[in-house]
């Protein structure tokens, strides 16, 4: 995603207190996105039972938000460059909040999934603007300190978000149940919107910035038809419509790839595809993020459907320990990436592999008698492995791209991560639901799929650049 930093001249007119308040607004938007992107991992069984949606609703709940966010993320960044970041940020936050309300009021699976798609689309307008806004309001010698606030805040949100969502479901405030997870955004999003409208500095944007609309539509077509084919095929015994959707997805993706070589302003710079390290990291990232996104979902499904855990116990047993592992490893690896380079990615993959095998062994030997004493350590180790990879895979992947390619490469990788999340949530849960009548067997099969994908990723590590580029703000 190409995003130019606004000139630093306006910073002198802003007081330190106002800069901190702007940072708080940007952080609030990031927290809203993080929580809403992951809360359906935990709440899917409850939502499905309430709306009588069946397995396909579970799969779309995980895929729809990430699909819209991933497809439109690069476009959202360029719209901020073109129309002004303040305007696009406010539009994204207002739309995100409104879509959250519709999610909370949904009376059918179709209404909820549509609202989740809209929520993801507005999230794609909202999220890319934050770093550009901070770059415009903070002096160059303070920007690093501002960015350093993201790690702790998002880390606490990653751990506390699932617990908050589960507590809202279990306590059932005002009889709203799962709907309160979305409706709480009336307060959170509304407060952030009022603050943003008052605090964010005005900018005009650059109307000459071009946006590859055709490429975005082709990518949306490719991902939508692939996901529909996966989800509908697993639900209806791979009827012709599902197979046709998969073929259409492959055609759309081919057309998208061709478009990137001919468009004047492609979403992904064509020269990046001639970079072996970048392509290897892209493939590794797609595979790994898809696998662990699916893993997050099936752990929650097994704990609730197989072991009969209520949402809060599920959060404390599965979601929170895994999130804690991610946070711990992400902080530690930030200091290690300069010394270890791509070896750190391999360590993360092997740690993920060890935790997944540990969880597989526990479920395989104990089935539905599996207890927290074996689940919590395994998912904590998985989280440590994921955290070691989350912050390093793409830093290493960009290790030998040129400065001219860095913006496109970074934005593309971020969008691909979201698309991989959508694909993984659909694919791995398809495996799980194929044998959901035997939850322990479905769980072990799903875990073996994750093991196989992680082993494949280990084989790709040696093709990555040896080290990340020196970090500059």
CATH number at 156 reads 1.20.1250.20
Spatial CA neighbour of 215 closest among 251, 248, 247, 262: 262
Tell me what pLDDT residue 7 has: 44
Spatial CA neighbour of 444 closest among 354, 355, 364: 364
Tell me what pLDDT residue 102 has: 96
Residue 245 has pLDDT above 90, yes or no: yes
Q: Judge whether 2 lies within some domain.
A: no
* Spatial separation of the C-alpha atoms in residues 59 and 417, rounded to whole Å: 17
My answer on whether 231 and 310 are in the same domain is no
Mean pLDDT computed over 287-314: 92
92: left (phi over 0), alpha (psi -120 to 50) or beta: alpha
Residue 179 has pLDDT above 90, yes or no: yes
Residue 472 has pLDDT above 50, yes or no: no
Tell me what pLDDT residue 233 has: 83
Residue 178 has pLDDT above 80, yes or no: yes
Residue 152 has pLDDT above 90, yes or no: no
My answer on whether 216 and 296 are in the same domain is no
Q: Judge whether 4 lies within some domain.
A: no
Q: What's the CA angle centered on 116, arms 304 and 70, to 5 degrees?
A: 100
CB atoms within 10 A of CB 275: 21
Question: What separation in angstroms does the CA of 20 have from each of 43, 137, 143, 268, 334?
Answer: 34, 10, 11, 34, 24
My answer on whether 341 and 373 are in the same domain is yes
- Contact by Cβ (8 Å): 65, 121: no
Q: Judge whether 1 lies within some domain.
A: no
User: Over the chain, what is the mean pLDDT?
Assistant: 88
Residue 384 has pLDDT above 90, yes or no: yes
Q: Judge whether 5 lies within some domain.
A: no
My answer on whether 161 and 294 are in the same domain is no
Tell me what pLDDT residue 4 has: 42
Tell me what pLDDT residue 473 has: 36
Residue 2 has pLDDT above 80, yes or no: no
Query: Per-residue confidence at 12, pLDDT binned at 50, 70, 90?
Result: low
Query: Per-residue confidence at 39, pLDDT binned at 50, 70, 90?
Result: confident
Residue 9 has pLDDT above 70, yes or no: no
Mean pLDDT computed over 420-424: 88
* Spatial separation of the C-alpha atoms in residues 471 and 473, rounded to whole Å: 7
| Residue recorded with tokens 């519709």 | 102
My answer on whether 421 and 285 are in the same domain is yes
My answer on whether 234 and 276 are in the same domain is no
Query: Per-residue confidence at 186, pLDDT binned at 50, 70, 90?
Result: very high
Query: How many residues belong to the chain?
Result: 473
| Residue recorded with tokens 């909040």 | 97
Spatial CA neighbour of 440 closest among 361, 358, 347, 367: 367
Mean pLDDT computed over 365-390: 90
The residue with greater pLDDT, 464 or 206, is 464
Mean pLDDT computed over 229-250: 88
Mean pLDDT computed over 116-123: 94
CB neighbour list of residue 444: distance below 8 Å, 6 or more residues apart: 360, 363, 364
Spatial CA neighbour of 81 closest among 44, 132, 47: 132
Q: Judge whether 3 lies within some domain.
A: no
The residue with greater pLDDT, 230 or 102, is 102
**DSSP code string of 227-258:** HHHHHHHHHTTS-HHHHHHHHHHHHHHHHHHH
Question: For the chain, how many structural domains are there in total?
Answer: 3
My answer on whether 335 and 462 are in the same domain is yes
My answer on whether 163 and 249 are in the same domain is no
Give the tens place of pLDDT for each residue, 254-278. Answer: 999 899 888 888 888 888 888 899 9
Residue 386 has pLDDT above 50, yes or no: yes
Mean pLDDT computed over 319-324: 90
Q: Which of 264, 285, 303 is the last residue of a domain?
A: 264
Give the tens place of pLDDT for each residue, 337-359. Answer: 888 889 999 999 999 999 999 99
Of 39-43, 114-118, 327-331, which has the strongest mean pLDDT?
A: 114-118
Structural domain for 177, as ranges = 12-210
- Residues 99-136 as b/e (b if ≥16 CB within 10 A, e otherwise) read bbbbbbebeebeebbbbbbbbbbbbbbbbbbbbbbbbb
Tell me what pLDDT residue 6 has: 43
Q: Judge whether 113 lies within some domain.
A: yes
- Contact by Cβ (8 Å): 299, 248: no
Mean pLDDT computed over 403-430: 84
My answer on whether 16 and 71 are in the same domain is yes
My answer on whether 150 and 290 are in the same domain is no
Give the tens place of pLDDT for each residue, 196-228. Answer: 999 999 888 888 888 888 998 999 999 999 999
My answer on whether 340 and 249 are in the same domain is no
Query: Per-residue confidence at 244, pLDDT binned at 50, 70, 90?
Result: very high
My answer on whether 330 and 460 are in the same domain is yes
Q: Judge whether 6 lies within some domain.
A: no
Query: Per-residue confidence at 470, pLDDT binned at 50, 70, 90?
Result: low
Residue 420 has pLDDT above 80, yes or no: yes
Q: Judge whether 424 lies within some domain.
A: yes
């Amino acid at each position: 995603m190409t995003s130019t930093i606004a000139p630093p001249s306006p910073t002198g007119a802003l007081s330190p207190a106002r800069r901190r308040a702007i940072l708080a607004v940007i952080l609030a938007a990031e927290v809203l996105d993080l929580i809403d992107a992951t809360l359906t991992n935990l709440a899917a069984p409850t939502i499905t039972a309430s709306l009588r949606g069946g397995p396909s609703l579970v799969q779309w709940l995980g895929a729809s938000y990430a699909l819209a966010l991933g497809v439109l993320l690069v476009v959202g960044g360029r719209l901020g460059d073109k129309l002004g970041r303040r305007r696009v940020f406010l539009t994204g936050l207002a739309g995100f909040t409104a879509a959250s309300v519709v999610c909370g009021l949904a009376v059918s699976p179709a209404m909820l999934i549509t609202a989740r798609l809209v929520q993801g689309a507005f999230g794609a307008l909202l999220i890319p603007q934050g770093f550009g806004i901070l770059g415009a309001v903070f002096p160059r010698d303070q920007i690093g300190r501002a960015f350093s606030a993201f790690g702790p805040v998002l880390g606490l949100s990653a751990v506390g978000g699932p617990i908050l969502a589960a507590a809202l479901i279990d306590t059932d405030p005002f009889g709203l149940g799962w709907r309160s997870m979305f409706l709480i955004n009336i307060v959170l999003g509304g407060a952030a919107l009022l603050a943003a409208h008052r605090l964010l500095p005005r900018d005009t944007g650059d109307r000459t910035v071009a946006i590859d609309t055709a490429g975005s539509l082709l990518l949306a077509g490719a991902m939508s038809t692939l996901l529909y084919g996966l989800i509908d095929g697993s639900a209806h015994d791979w009827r012709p419509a599902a197979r046709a959707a998969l073929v259409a997805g492959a055609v759309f993706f081919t057309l998208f790839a061709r478009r990137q070589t001919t468009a004047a302003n492609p979403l992904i710079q064509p020269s990046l595809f001639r970079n072996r390290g970048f392509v290897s990291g892209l493939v590794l990232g797609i595979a790994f993020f898809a696998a662990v996104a699916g893993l997050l979902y099936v752990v929650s499904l097994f704990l609730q459907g197989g072991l009969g855990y209520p949402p809060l116990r599920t959060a404390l047993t599965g979601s929170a320990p895994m999130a804690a592992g991610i946070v711990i490893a992400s902080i530690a690896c930030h200091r290690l990436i300069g010394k270890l380079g791509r070896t750190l990615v391999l360590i993360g993959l092997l740690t993920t592999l060890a935790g997944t095998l540990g969880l597989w062994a526990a479920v395989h030997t104990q089935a539905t008698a599996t207890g927290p004493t074996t689940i919590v350590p395994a998912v904590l180790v998985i989280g440590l492995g994921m955290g070691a990879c989350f912050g390093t895979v793409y830093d290493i992947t960009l290790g030998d791209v040129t400065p001219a390619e860095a913006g496109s490469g970074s934005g593309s990788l971020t969008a691909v991560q979201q698309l991989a999340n959508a694909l993984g949530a659909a694919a791995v849960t398809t495996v799980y639901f194929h044998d959901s009548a035997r939850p322990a067997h479905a769980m072990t099969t799903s875990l073996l799929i994750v093991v196989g994908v992680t082993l494949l990723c280990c084989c790709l590590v040696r093709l990555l650049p040896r080290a990340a580029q020196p970090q500059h703000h």
